[in-house]
Amino acid sequence: MDTHEGIYRYFIQPQLDMINNSLIGYELLMKQYTLAGWRPPKSFAAVPAEIIASVLIATTRKLTLKIGSVSVNLNRTQMLNPQINEALIQAQSYLRLVRLNVELTEEPTDQGITITQLMPMIKQYDERGMEISLDDVGTSQNQLADVQPLLPYASEMKFALQNFTTGLADPDLVKQLVYWRDIAAAHRLRFIVEGTETAEDDALLDTLHIDFRQGYYYGKPHLLKIHPTDPGQ
């Protein structure tokens, strides 16, 4: 049996500004080590708060990168967890001039959590220079009516191509993409498209004037080791 089985680590994936051909940040993606190697957790919501907190703190201690931001995913339930919030604030202190973005995901179990409940955390983040990103807009629970109350407090919006099976060859998907691009522009939010995998996708995003991108085409997530014995990818 692999003694590493069951440990969690963050993998980092680059986010790019294609107009200026520059790296703007990294997204931290949680993975669990299994007998089959590193895999995303079956349920991110089920990852214990103390693990998210400890791995986040250890990871940000290692990140001394000259970039604009580092992004981490949380759902509303996790955002309300005091242990995770303390870890986020501590992580921002390690990152110093690198901004920590909290990518807020939506899950069915979070539907009872109101913006009023989230506001104390949002204010804490804002006071420390942290930002809120609305993740996976246009997917399942993340339609306009769901994210509208958060728009005044957000700085970024992300559209995930990997959540759709048709790809950008589908005119309806392109229409959705443009719809969310324009909502982001109307609210002065950064708009990042993730899940870009081909040169054709990259070229189409050029024609749509979408500058900020993330995906396998630009770089796959890679393990950021926080312990010398961490297994490789």
pLDDT digits over 58-74, tens only? Answer: 998 888 777 889 999 99
**Statement: residue 1 has pLDDT above 60:** no
pTM exceeding 0.75 = yes
Each residue's pLDDT tens digit, 127-153: 999 999 999 998 876 788 888 999 999
Which pLDDT score, from 0 to 100, does residue 218 have?
95
Q: How far is CA 104 from the centre of its chain?
A: 8
Q: DSSP code of 131?
A: E
Both tokens of residue 158? 């992300």
| Distance in angstroms (rounded) separating the CA atoms of residues 177 and 137 | 10
Rounded to whole angstroms, how far apart are CA atoms 229 and 13?
22
Nearest CA to 174 out of 135, 208, 203, 199 is that of: 208
pLDDT in tens, 174-223: 999 999 999 999 999 999 999 999 999 999 999 999 999 999 999 999 99
Q: Can you state the angle between helices 82-95 and 49-62, rounded to 10 degrees?
A: 0
